[in-house]
């Protein structure tokens, strides 16, 4: 029977494997010119920003109020995405250093999520509590 640590490693492995395509197909889109984004991904982005009401994922280079969020997306592209591959490798091979690296990743994500969740919960007064909670839940891992 697998130990608790082995079960958690399996959960972490699934998390990192699933976040690779999510980061590529969804999270970094606001950083790219619309001309190079495939139509299905643009449609997904429109769904997130209009139907669900995600205020951050808008693909619009003229929005200067989202520079802080785009800087977090840039970190996601150049820091987190490469780390996802490294984390998958560490978890797959059972590296003895994996837990320290996973802890550092968790600290990094916690500090980047604080302003995002703060803006969702307290920044937009025109949203209902249910809308804020739904958006917040979408951003939580």
pLDDT tens digits for range 32-82: 888 899 999 999 999 888 888 888 888 877 777 888 999 999 999 999 999
- Answer yes or no: is pLDDT of 125 > 70: no
Highest mean pLDDT out of 7-21, 28-42, 127-141:
7-21
- Answer yes or no: is pLDDT of 97 > 70: yes
Half-sphere exposure of 101 (CA within 13 A, CB side): 20
Cα torsion at 57, 69, 101, 3 (round to 10°)? -40
Q: Enter the pTM of the model.
A: 0.89
């Amino acid at each position: 029977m697998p130990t608790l640590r082995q079960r958690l490693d399996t959960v972490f492995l699934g998390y990192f494997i699933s976040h690779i395509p999510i980061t590529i197909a969804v999270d970094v889109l606001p950083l790219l010119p619309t001309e190079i984004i495939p139509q299905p991904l643009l449609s997904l982005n429109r769904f997130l920003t209009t139907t669900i009401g995600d205020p951050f994922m808008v693909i619009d280079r003229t929005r200067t109020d989202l520079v802080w969020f785009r800087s977090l997306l840039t970190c996601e592209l150049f820091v987190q995405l490469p780390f996802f591959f490294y984390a998958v490798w560490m978890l797959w091979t059972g590296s003895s250093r994996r837990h320290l690296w996973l802890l550092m990743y968790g600290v990094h994500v916690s500090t980047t999520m604080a302003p995002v969740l703060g803006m969702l919960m307290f920044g937009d007064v025109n949203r209902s509590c249910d809308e804020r909670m739904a958006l917040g839940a979408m951003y939580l891992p």
